[in-house]
Amino acid sequence: MRATHVVLALFWFLSIHTPGLFCANVQYDHRALVIDGKRRVLISGSIHYPRSTPEMWPDLIQKSKDGGLDMIETYVFWNIHEPVRGQYDFDGRKDLVKFVKTVAAAGLYVHLRIGPYVCAEWNYGGFPVWLHFIPGIKFRTDNEPFKAEMKRFTAKIVDMMKQEKLYASQGGPIILSQIENEYGNIDSSYGAAGKSYIKWAATMATSLDTGVPWVMCQQADAPDPIINTCNGFYCDQFTPNSNTKPKMWTENWSGWFLSFGGAVPFRPVEDLAFAVARFFQRGGTFQNYYMYHGGTNFDRTSGGPFIATSYDYDAPIDEYGIVRQPKWGHLKDVHKAIKLCEEALIATDPSIVSLGPNLEAAVYKTGSVCSAFLANVGTTSDATVNFSGNSYHLPAWSVSILPDCKNVVLNTAKINSASSVSSFTKESSKEDAGSSETSSAGWSWISEPVGISKADPFSQTGLLEQINTTADKSDYLWYSLSIDHNYGASSQTSLHIESLGHGLHAFINGKLAGSQAGNSGKAKFTVDIPVTLVAGKNTIDLLSLTVGLQNYGAFFDLTGAGITGPVILKGLANASALDLSSQKWTYQVGLKGEDLGLSSGSSGQWNSQSTFPKNQPLTWYKTTFAAPSGTSPVAIDFTGMRKGEAWVNGQSIGRYWPIFVASDAGCTESCNYRGPYSASKCRRNCGKPSQTLYHVPRSWLKPSGNTLVLLEEKGGDPTQISFVTKQIESLCAHVSDSHPPPVELWNSYTESGREVGPVLSLTCPQQNQVISSIKFASYGTPLGTCGNFYHGRCSSSKTLSIVQKACIGSRNCSVGVSTDTFGDPCRGVAKSLAVEASCA
């Protein structure tokens, strides 16, 4: 055992420090990327290093490799690396070099998307906000100040990679780089200057001499030698702008992002697998999932505005690092099936023929090598087709893959992989297990002053745009004004406020009078807040707040925020109104507690003696807690709180907003995968909060003595929050007697000539687990989904005992799906086997 550890440690060291392990010459031709003279079919997946932790990286990357990936794709996030011009940060989650080396250690390639504009639902599209304040600058166009800064940062990243010998030309894992990002979607807004900018960007990138190809995604006029690539839910119809360039898909959207106030999007794996197979059917050789692991928008990194803290993206590996089944497993099978066709795919272009309406065959044949893809792109009807003298059943919206042009190894609509149901379990988090979970004991607090409280306020006539005022140093900007009220009392008095977004809290004489926020579809809002004024002096304090800066669109950097007015007191005596917009307002950037470093929990005069304040706006709360036992991923359930930010041991887990509820309309628990997918097609959680659970990485926790700090804006009850852990509750599979055999059996049954039928397989997610019980088993006509299976009109009475004997006590098991195994409970009827199991 010790010798094994030495060998593994040596391999890790050599992988990290020895360039020669990759040692590749990377070029391309019209079919594929060419690595050391050989065309390659490559499957890639996006993992963004700052959306997880260095401690998570090795496991995420290994699970990606186990899922059949050849490459990891990541953006480079300028604003986290250069938060102040000329001051760089590559520590912790920002350690780009360590991330690339960790990918290399797993034996995978890297696609480094430098951008440096990234979009990515990331704050300000990845640009540092200080860039906005450079005199004369205009973003993403033929503008000398911008080009100088873009070139400086791009060269900085390239030089870092070269110094560490991380490019393939130096023996490293980076075989591809990207400059700019989806500029073709908006370049018409920039006119001729946009065209010249793209030419400049291409020349600048290639001049950096990385020794590997560069790409531009969504850029139909990408200049040679830059490869233009496709992003989207489907890219089978995409054609590169030159017959010397390969067909590449840099972003296959595996799901969609979550917004505060939105329902939770998901993409059925049958549709995703269909899109992948169609791309390779029609000549593609490089495909990347965006995302393969989405992760978490820690701190204030989410963009939008209104992008949620969770960036799960319905990816094959979920936000917490757990494989999402059946998505991960079915795609793994798709990857295996495609790789069985690699020799044919790289040898020639496809010959595409129609087999009937909405039916198509693509054949790759050269010499004795032949592979074929049969597609039914119809959305309603299954079909039976004749191909090369054989008959094949094609479900609607599916592709069958035939590595030998004869036998089907996989159909995208038929899932052999297991599925799983996960759950969150509430855990004790008190240092003293005998104390009440909902008690205020152990909590301390500090009230954030309403209005101007810092030493550096300033006054100016009129209302200021927020981002130009705060430079995004904080989400918060106070607008403060004192007025003398001598207009007579009225029960109808209201404060009319018009804001560019994203939200505000209005205080009158120190008391919260009302709040309002925009949403992901419309950040701007207008609100009329009922107010009560007193005779004489009144103080109006408006706390304007941002929820991530705009990250997409032409001139996105000029999108403003804050209260730009008008601000009007309406409904005064005699129905009069008072426009306050042009008054002399006093401004304060950020909160006093932010300047005092209260988020660390170690500074400030925390109060634990007087009455515990619940539902009090603008309150900082602090408590200590013990980490939940075990190794399962940890989250905080923020039910009971309203809106704010949270820190664990000084590290921000992001903004929380558990009261922002999605619309009641537009959701479905089961979504028909047939037909084109869109971001609004398949959604869950309508009428419920968009996000109540917030990830806390295990590596941020100590066994005990952890500090949790909350900044609550609107008023909540922190004693109601709870710590939860995520685990797999059930493991399921449902395989019909018409499913192809498992992909991994392909070679054995094609070479031996013996017939192999479908097989149902289960594997516990953890190495130390075994299958402990069978919750459901039926061979016949079972119905339902994982966690909700039920018997159909016929079921073999032997099923449960056979499955129990095969599976209980083992980590994995396989059962043949046939009447030979279970007998025939209903002759002449198509049958299937459904099983739900538990692991312990």
> φ and ψ at 202, to 5 degrees?
-65, -45
Q: Which of 121, 149, 182, 360 is catalytic?
A: 182
In 3D, which of 591, 623, 625, 590 has the Cα closest to residue 607? 623
User: Is 182 in the active site?
Assistant: yes
Tens of pLDDT, residues 201-243? 999 999 999 999 999 999 999 999 999 999 999 999 999 999 9
How much of the chain exceeds pLDDT 70, in percent? 95
Query: Residue 703, Cα to own-chain centre: how many angstroms?
Result: 29
Q: Is the pLDDT of residue 489 over 70?
A: no
Q: 144 falls in which pLDDT band (50, 70, 90)?
A: very high
Q: What is the pLDDT of residue 574?
A: 76
Mean pLDDT of 571-595: 93
pLDDT at 207: 98
Rounded CA-CA distance 145/743 in Å is 54
Decide if pLDDT at 57 tops 70. yes
The amino acid at residue 265 is P
Distance CA 669, CA 784 (A): 12
Residue scoring higher pLDDT (754 or 165): 165
What is the rounded CA–CA span in Å between residue 273 and residue 527?
46
What pLDDT score does 749 carry? 73
Neighbours of 357 (CB within 10 A): 10
Winning range, highest mean pLDDT, from 21-30, 325-334, 602-611: 325-334
Residue reference for tokens 């496709």 = 230
Residue 266 and residue 671 in contact, taking contact as beta carbons nearer than 8 Å: yes
Eight-state DSSP code of residue 122: B
* pLDDT tens digit sequence for 770-826: 999 999 999 999 999 999 999 999 999 999 999 999 999 999 999 999 999 999 999
Among residues 815, 816, 812, 806, the alpha carbon closest in space to that of 757 is found at 816
Assess contact for 251 and 217: CB atoms under 8 A. yes
pLDDT at 8 over 70: no
| Amino acid 341: pLDDT | 98
| CA–CA gap between residue 733 and residue 728 (Å, rounded) | 14
| Helices vs. strands in the chain: H and E counts, helices first | 14, 43
Is residue 720 classed exposed, middle or buried when 0-12, 13-18 and 19+ CB atoms within 10 A define those classes?
middle
Look at residue 3 and give its three-state secondary structure. helix
Q: Report the amino acid identity of residue 615.
A: N
Least-confidence region, from 42-56, 428-442, 571-585: 428-442
pLDDT (0 to 100) of residue 594? 97
What does the buried/exposed string (b/e) look like for 413-448 if buried means 16 or more CB atoms within 10 Å of the residue's CB? bbbbbbbbebebeebebbeeeeeeeeebebbbbbeb
Amino acid making up residue 384: T
Residue 622's pLDDT is what? 97
pLDDT band at 3 (very low <50, low <70, confident <90, very high): very low
Model confidence at 610, pLDDT cuts 50, 70, 90, reads confident
Structure pTM? 0.95
What is the reported pLDDT for 754?
Answer: 75
**Average pLDDT estimate for 652-679:** 95
How do 248-253 and 214-217 pair as beta strands? unpaired
- Mean pLDDT, the chain, rounded, equals 94
Our CA dihedral for 462, 465, 471, 472, rounded to 10 degrees, sits at 120
610 burial class (0-12, 13-18, 19+ CB within 10 angstroms)? exposed
Alpha-carbon distance of 301 to 314, in angstroms, equals: 19
Helix axes 144-163, 191-207, angle to 10 degrees: 20
**832 near 819, Cβ under 8 Å?**
no
Confidence of residue 436 (pLDDT cuts 50, 70, 90): very low
| β-strand partners of 293 | 47, 317
Q: What are phi and psi of 512, to 5 degrees?
A: -70, 120
Q: What is the three-state SS of 271-332?
A: HHHHHHHHHHHCCCCEEEEEEEECCECCCCCECECCECCECCCCCCECCCCCECCCHHHHHH
Per-residue pLDDT at 488: 62
Give yes or no: 755 in active site. no
Catalytic residue among 121, 180, 251, 713, which? Answer: 251
In the predicted model, is pLDDT for residue 248 greater than 50?
Answer: yes
Given this model, what pLDDT does residue 522 score? 97
Asked if the model's pLDDT at residue 281 lies above 80, the reply is: yes
Closest CA to 771 of 317, 420, 427, 415: 420
Q: What pLDDT does 576 receive?
A: 86
